[in-house]
Amino acid sequence: MTALKHFNNGFAYLEIENRQAKAKIALQGAHIFEYTKEGEASLLWLSQKSLFENNKAIRGGIPVCFPWFGKNDKGKDLPQHGFARTMIWDVVLQEDLDECTTHIVLRLESNAATKKMWNYDFHVELDFLIGKQLQVSMHIKNCSTIPFDVTTALHTYFKISNINKVLLDGLSHNQYYDALTKKRGTHQDSTGFSQEVDRIYYAVPNKIYLQDEMRKVEIESFGAHSLVVWNPWIEKSKHMRDMTPDGYKTMLCLETANAGDDIVTIHPNQSHKIGAIYRIV
């Protein structure tokens, strides 16, 4: 069952429920901000101070970064992580495949507002399969007559029990770029974090695992060659309007991405697909 609902301020979202899971997807940004598998705690972290307001990004869930990841150096007024996460998307499909699986598709197309920031014709779809596992994929089509470059991400916030005690499995000896130190390094297996982290890992395997005290999550990616690992830690959290001071303790972002040096060129009438399957194992 899928229903269109609104918060008191008119902010619109889809509420999905089937025999295996519940989910909520905002029309702004095609942003899934809740996924709860039957018998489990919520997979996705959501800030207690998250803003559900027009033109304001939601802090938590899975924000969509498109058509660029991070800052765009071509203009200081261009939005962080692109414009897709604060625009209203159209619902083009909602169907129950069976009692346990719901399929949702939202679409964003180029328009006058997007062309002021990024002068290309495109359409992009977010495809959700909600059931005993969560699958999210982004399909980008170049509708222009010339190629364009994109960097993208599914900026996934995972709910965890303790940032000091999580283990990332599958990144052994992967190279990364550290955005805080501006240096490159090689990952060493370690349990937990003790400070702010902001890294882009390259040539990552298609499966990695997040081991927490309360569960283990498998993240299977496709169309992505990089992974962003991010936690703002204490000082940065204090200065974030939509973050509680201790919010960093129960979240970790593991972002399926084409980011940093991992730039994707899409030619006219061609497409690129990036996505992830999240399984509690």
Q: Which residue has the tokens 């071509």?
A: 74
Are 70 and 76 in contact by the 8 Å Cβ rule? The answer is no
- Which among 31, 125, 225, 255 is annotated as catalytic? 255
Q: Where do the domains of the chain lie?
A: 2-280
One-letter amino acid of 41: A
Q: What is the per-residue pLDDT for 44? A: 98
Q: Please, what is the end-to-end C-alpha distance for the chain in angstroms?
A: 26
2-280: CATH topology is Beta-galactosidase; Chain A, domain 5 (2.70.98)
List 155, 187, 220, 267, catalytic entry: 155
CA neighbours closer than 13 Å in the CB half-sphere of residue 202:
12
Give me the tens of pLDDT residue by residue for the chain, a chain 281 residues long.
Answer: 999 999 999 999 999 999 999 999 999 999 999 999 999 999 999 999 998 999 999 999 999 999 999 988 888 889 999 999 999 999 999 999 999 999 999 999 999 999 999 999 999 999 999 999 999 999 999 999 999 999 999 999 999 999 999 999 988 888 999 999 999 998 877 667 899 999 999 999 999 999 999 899 999 999 999 999 999 999 999 889 999 999 999 999 999 999 998 999 999 999 999 999 999 99
Query: Could you confirm whether 218 is annotated as catalytic?
Result: no
pTM: 0.95
Q: Is 239 in the active site?
A: no
> Hey, what are 255's tokens?
């972002």
Please tell me the distance from the alpha carbon of residue 70 to that of residue 128, in angstroms, as a whole number. Answer: 24
d(CA 59, CA 243) in angstroms, rounded, equals 8
